Structure 1
């Protein structure tokens, strides 16, 4: 689509002929995706009788056995490269050829033989070394779909031992088998089209079933679509908004045209216990890739691109090699430390990856302004994440963060204003609370006149990086799964299937929702405990089924990140609990918007309570918990973690169960230094006013966990930055949006 056609389309929007959010998203973005998908899948749409299915994996992966079973299932001939190609070409056994020419020459002659081989409509089992030859794999992929049998290394070594194979191609004398298998993994990751994550000790029949399922998924990309939480169950809704939405669409759009949130239409994929046991042996990045590959179709993000993004997201920018380590606290309680990222909060686990996904899915013709409302941590994490994009992506993406001027900590404000000070990355405070900021952004998305004006004048489209955006929520599923796998790996859990509880400081419900999605994928989470502070609207709802904002005033607290009254992701939760009843969800949240309250039925409340418990703690309880935990264990927690710990302790007193309890530590204590220092016994007047001096107080005490290096360095290098402060006026905020777009994209013609 040419830019002239885009301007014509936007002209219709401005003239009122089309509604920007609904028809731009339903017409323009899917059409773009359709062109991309057609090009990407052009080699994959041939009939099964024409296209080869190529099985790839290390020696001992079972390619030959699985190939025979798969050939029977698909009614396709089976070709084994060793038996039917190499031995016919060389007129001798493969082992003899290897002994004659040596490893390097063998790889060349093997590759040449494969390049001279032609077949169609067959199941082809490769050798373990074929992927090391670039020309051979390029030749095979011209008419083949490569399926990677990703088998557990311990299983491979045991199989090779039973086959009396103690050395493979390319393995030097004295090199352990584990090392050569790890070396080869990079080549397998390079060539596959679809991967089969084999479980621990999967047999050939189980792997074959997984291959069939993987092929079916790969060839049916249109099956993985998304719907709004407010979409009509009856199917009688506005057909202009009923176009299928794919991952790449919802990442870019953020909010659904009807004001709802996007969720997968078919729910979450479920991993088998054997697959989870396999992931328990992996580091965080590999777990993330394996889980996210199940949730993102390769049409939208190829597995190779996804792996690159994950490795970039979770690397040297995290202060812990484990990324999200689990630490034993006391009794049956464990702390999931989610604060080791560059801005020292759990938001980094999503927002170091989400901007990369966003940039990858962007259509090439438009500019995007990412609007964010934050109660503190999200702002700096968004600015850091989008600031890490390459120059080309940054030139097309602007970021504007709105935060309450008096509703964040001093350190949070310093982080946001020091990071967000460029033309296309700004942090602006508002003389109101988080709910006003969030409500204003949602209103902007639904304002056709405003979005049409921005589109016509600047070819700019609005999106969001709050947890209402699916790509923001999805990466959080990984760390809940990873925490369970760590407990399984370390022997805290006797076997996969033993349950755990999770306690989460809860404001916008995104963190809690991601834990429930991890449960949907098969992680044995017994219950999710939502811990609130004195702004306890979520806790009251879980207890009574009534969500009531009438007469409530948002109160500032020691845990500002959960100072929220309108919990956006509760909408996804009720959609899940109601079995996907979009009509009901639309009715409930329309009532909330118009009448400031809603009440669910006793039956729905019962379903809510099957998965979720909730309670709240006072400000005094929060500080007392910090003090008591440090006294008993030496561990210092931030105010939000203390809210979760206080609630967890109270609920555990009512439950004699010894089920392990994972407390999500959502921020480093240094971000809320004045409150934490006060909790630890310093009087208000003795707490330093300077944030850098506050952190130095902790450093001098040998605190556990240790001081966050990136946080300390940020404050050391920054000074109080002047920033724009706005009145709580919707029109003033829209002016800030246009000013940011002008600063970011004014040079775009």
Structure 2
């Protein structure tokens, strides 16, 4: 009947012949497919799920032929046989709500094995029937855009689908149903407007192959000297392993053995109109094997991370600044820095991956923003998880802004402690690495307190991976805004000290985002930009200089190691040699061929303290917008090195309130009290853009009720503080 969501077999065949043009496979090819794919699913069912009009039935038939197994259409082969009447007649007879109930009950009576099953568009709305049919099955979600579905249904003169109440559009119903598809799928296949049925079937088979071969999604250390053979070895690490361990046993950093997956241009275009949450889900599903984190769990984690915790619904919006420069606002999270984009996500991921019988202590060093973001993120775990997962944070006592320090102290909670160290960030980071590389100490903590150590610094792959999402999302936002068409080049300029943020942008390019140049912006501690220009990483005679942009006051850039591993074609021996030389002699020289690769990707420059303040003042004068000190560094560098032939996205890594004294100085506002709250109130009185950060203000008001802890720059003293903290948190093993 016109207006029903269910079409007869002949109608569906006509629709798909009309919408898809796909030649029938040659008979010899069919035999080859049968021989190679017949064992792909074995006795399991392959279930195709998706909205009406997504091609489930026709794709199911093709897959049945290729796999040499039965293809079952729930409409024709289950419902109509069970009811002894057509689906459209049943719908007319009982109405939408009763129809959905009876549809679910009919599916509960159905059993099959080794078959390709095409569900109806509304089957996923019935929980018990989906639980029943999902047993011994792999559920593949044919994710077709709602616009394409509406267009297809309009061509077939279908103007209503099941569950569509008066006043609601088909698009509204399709949007609501996405929640149910996300709940049940094991695999997602992104379908594009130009895909043929054969293409969709190919995508399904590729996705199922990857799903079935979980052991191929391994990670290696950047310093691994193994052979080039990427076969699985006894010591292979998987995603959940690297989340828990953080740092590799040989001192290197974990990276995917086969690199990051690449999305096609068409798949990226599918995400242009999507929300940040939906973009994150698709990107992270590709990067995390479902054997480690099933999509439904991953979806729940993403929702927890990016729902009510961010002040802006777009999470990481892109705003035009001036000319061809755009600002990527990364400060809308609860602690007002870009670290929230990863650290609202990572703790829930970590809690899911770790064994349930062990306590974990997260050791983290911060150059300013990471500390409060880690403490806040892990404080949002469930009550049960907070009893077994705690954070111990080191920060340079005099090396971060007063607001940052106040915020870190205020973010301490029942599972988080911060310790100020009378040294710089590099010492804090080195102390963390020394603790991890001390087997006697770590073994003692495990034996005495049942506690394992790990880290949440950007050396942990789970910290770095979510950052890829916001760089990709920024480019998609420019496409959505009509600034560029997908495929047009865009440069990115990122203030960086530890190389993690700029590396995440580089990884986004490896996944298919057409970034052109990566502009590395440094302050007066410009070891990175010197390295980009000369290929020599040289720490000899360098002292860390305090600056207005403390989060990039770093001399030893940990994540650079991952980049060098990538451009050297995974030459772990070379990476190990370079970093051994850096540790021993304080410098290393990049081979010429790798320097050429580096300079093809990157360009770098640095900004003086005077120019940093001048940029804050000039941007505010010209636009009314206030940038923080790190973003000012990036703005200065972008102005100097970009060639203006394409847009440039400048990462705004923190809210200006975190660096209020410098902002007030830059804007030439004098006679302000020293307390952070007083400074913020003065800034807010100017009604600035962007507006005040409410979460930051609320947190700072809490600081007076929290205790600060400080110690000398001595690794042994730090280890004592760690053990004392564990004594308060966790009982010694064997005690009651």
From 582, 588, 610, the counterpart of 2:572: 582
- Asked if 1:705 is matched to 2:695, the reply is no
From 114, 117, 140, the counterpart of 1:124: 117
Deviates more, 1:549-558 or 1:447-456: 447-456
In 2, are the aligned partners of 1:200 and 1:277 still within 8 Å (CA)? Answer: no
Residues 364-389 of structure 1, C-alpha deviation per residue, up to 9 Å, x if partnerless?
22111110111110000000000111
Unpaired runs of 5+ residues, structure 1, are 1-44
TM-fit CA distance, 1:241: 9.6
* 1:277 counterpart residue number: 269
- Counterpart secondary structure, 2:704: coil
From 626, 629, 651, the counterpart of 1:636: 626
From 426, 447, 461, the counterpart of 1:456: 447
1-structure distance, mates of 2:656, 2:175: 38
TM-fit CA distance, 1:49: 4.1
Deviates more, 1:477-486 or 1:186-195: 186-195
- Counterpart secondary structure, 1:172: coil
TM-fit CA distance, 1:138: 2.3
TM-fit CA distance, 1:747: 5.7
Change in 2 beyond 3 A, CA 1:585/1:388: same
- Counterpart secondary structure, 1:368: strand
TM-fit CA distance, 1:716: 2.5
Residues 489-541 of structure 1, C-alpha deviation per residue, up to 9 Å, x if partnerless?
11011x21111100000100000110011011100110111100000000000
Residues 421-467 of structure 1, C-alpha deviation per residue, up to 9 Å, x if partnerless?
54x31110111100001011101111111111111111111100000
In 1, are the aligned partners of 2:319 and 2:328 still within 8 Å (CA)? Answer: yes
TM-fit CA distance, 1:47: 6.7
In 1, are the aligned partners of 2:412 and 2:706 still within 8 Å (CA)? Answer: no
* 1:57 counterpart residue number: 50
- Counterpart secondary structure, 1:412: helix
From 741, 744, 748, the counterpart of 2:726: 741
* 1:39 counterpart residue number: none
Deviates more, 1:259-268 or 1:50-59: 50-59
TM-score, normalised via structure 2 length: 0.92
* 1:374 counterpart residue number: 366
- Asked if 1:568 is matched to 2:558, the reply is yes
* 1:164 counterpart residue number: 157
- Counterpart secondary structure, 1:227: strand
- Counterpart secondary structure, 1:370: strand
TM-fit CA distance, 1:585: 0.4
In 2, are the aligned partners of 1:644 and 1:663 still within 8 Å (CA)? Answer: yes
- Asked if 1:694 is matched to 2:686, the reply is no
TM-fit CA distance, 1:68: 1.7
* 1:346 counterpart residue number: 338
* 2:430 counterpart residue number: 439
TM-fit CA distance, 1:623: 0.5
* 1:21 counterpart residue number: none
- Asked if 1:513 is matched to 2:497, the reply is no
Deviates more, 1:735-744 or 1:526-535: 735-744
2-structure distance, mates of 1:242, 1:568: 27
1-structure distance, mates of 2:246, 2:464: 11
* 2:668 counterpart residue number: 681
2-structure distance, mates of 1:92, 1:394: 55
2-structure distance, mates of 1:727, 1:240: 45
* 1:617 counterpart residue number: 607
From 197, 201, 223, the counterpart of 2:190: 197
Deviates more, 1:536-545 or 1:209-218: 209-218
1-structure distance, mates of 2:143, 2:349: 24
TM-fit CA distance, 1:633: 0.9
1-structure distance, mates of 2:679, 2:635: 24
1-structure distance, mates of 2:433, 2:170: 55
From 445, 459, 465, the counterpart of 1:474: 465
* 2:388 counterpart residue number: 396
* 2:293 counterpart residue number: 301
2-structure distance, mates of 1:527, 1:121: 49
In 2, are the aligned partners of 1:622 and 1:643 still within 8 Å (CA)? Answer: yes
2-structure distance, mates of 1:322, 1:144: 36
In 2, are the aligned partners of 1:200 and 1:278 still within 8 Å (CA)? Answer: no
In 2, are the aligned partners of 1:49 and 1:76 still within 8 Å (CA)? Answer: no
In 2, are the aligned partners of 1:155 and 1:201 still within 8 Å (CA)? Answer: no
In 1, are the aligned partners of 2:279 and 2:473 still within 8 Å (CA)? Answer: yes
In 2, are the aligned partners of 1:89 and 1:113 still within 8 Å (CA)? Answer: yes
- Asked if 1:662 is matched to 2:643, the reply is no
Change in 2 beyond 3 A, CA 1:241/1:463: farther
Residues 212-268 of structure 1, C-alpha deviation per residue, up to 9 Å, x if partnerless?
11101111111111000000143799x999611011100010000000000001100
- Counterpart secondary structure, 2:223: coil
1-structure distance, mates of 2:127, 2:698: 45
1-structure distance, mates of 2:103, 2:124: 11
* 1:384 counterpart residue number: 376
* 1:186 counterpart residue number: 179
* 2:137 counterpart residue number: 144
* 1:35 counterpart residue number: none
- Counterpart secondary structure, 1:72: helix
Change in 2 beyond 3 A, CA 1:150/1:401: same
Deviates more, 1:188-197 or 1:435-444: 188-197
Deviates more, 1:562-571 or 1:70-79: 70-79
TM-fit CA distance, 1:194: 1.4
TM-fit CA distance, 1:343: 0.4
2-structure distance, mates of 1:178, 1:241: 48
In 2, are the aligned partners of 1:421 and 1:427 still within 8 Å (CA)? Answer: no
Residues 330-381 of structure 1, C-alpha deviation per residue, up to 9 Å, x if partnerless?
0000000000100000000000011111111011221111101111100000
Unpaired runs of 5+ residues, structure 2, are 1-37
CA RMSD, aligned part only? 1.8
TM-fit CA distance, 1:118: 2.7
2-structure distance, mates of 1:283, 1:66: 28
What is the count of residue pairs matched by the alignment? Answer: 697
In 1, are the aligned partners of 2:490 and 2:516 still within 8 Å (CA)? Answer: yes
- Counterpart secondary structure, 1:110: helix
* 1:428 counterpart residue number: 419
- Asked if 1:80 is matched to 2:73, the reply is yes
Residues 369-411 of structure 1, C-alpha deviation per residue, up to 9 Å, x if partnerless?
1101111100000000001111111111121111111101001
- Counterpart secondary structure, 1:349: helix
* 1:14 counterpart residue number: none
- Counterpart secondary structure, 1:175: coil
- Counterpart secondary structure, 2:627: coil
From 548, 556, 560, the counterpart of 2:546: 556
- Counterpart secondary structure, 1:719: helix
2-structure distance, mates of 1:731, 1:85: 69
TM-fit CA distance, 1:105: 2.1
- Counterpart secondary structure, 2:513: coil
1-structure distance, mates of 2:508, 2:406: 34
TM-fit CA distance, 1:75: 2.2
1-structure distance, mates of 2:54, 2:96: 21
In 1, are the aligned partners of 2:448 and 2:733 still within 8 Å (CA)? Answer: no
2-structure distance, mates of 1:503, 1:49: 50
In 2, are the aligned partners of 1:336 and 1:663 still within 8 Å (CA)? Answer: yes
In 1, are the aligned partners of 2:450 and 2:732 still within 8 Å (CA)? Answer: no
- Asked if 1:535 is matched to 2:525, the reply is yes
Residues 652-703 of structure 1, C-alpha deviation per residue, up to 9 Å, x if partnerless?
2xx2x431100000000000000011001124xx232111111111111110
TM-fit CA distance, 1:195: 1.4
TM-fit CA distance, 1:91: 3.1
TM-score, normalised via structure 1 length: 0.91
2-structure distance, mates of 1:160, 1:180: 13
In 1, are the aligned partners of 2:409 and 2:703 still within 8 Å (CA)? Answer: no
- Counterpart secondary structure, 2:205: helix
1-structure distance, mates of 2:535, 2:651: 25
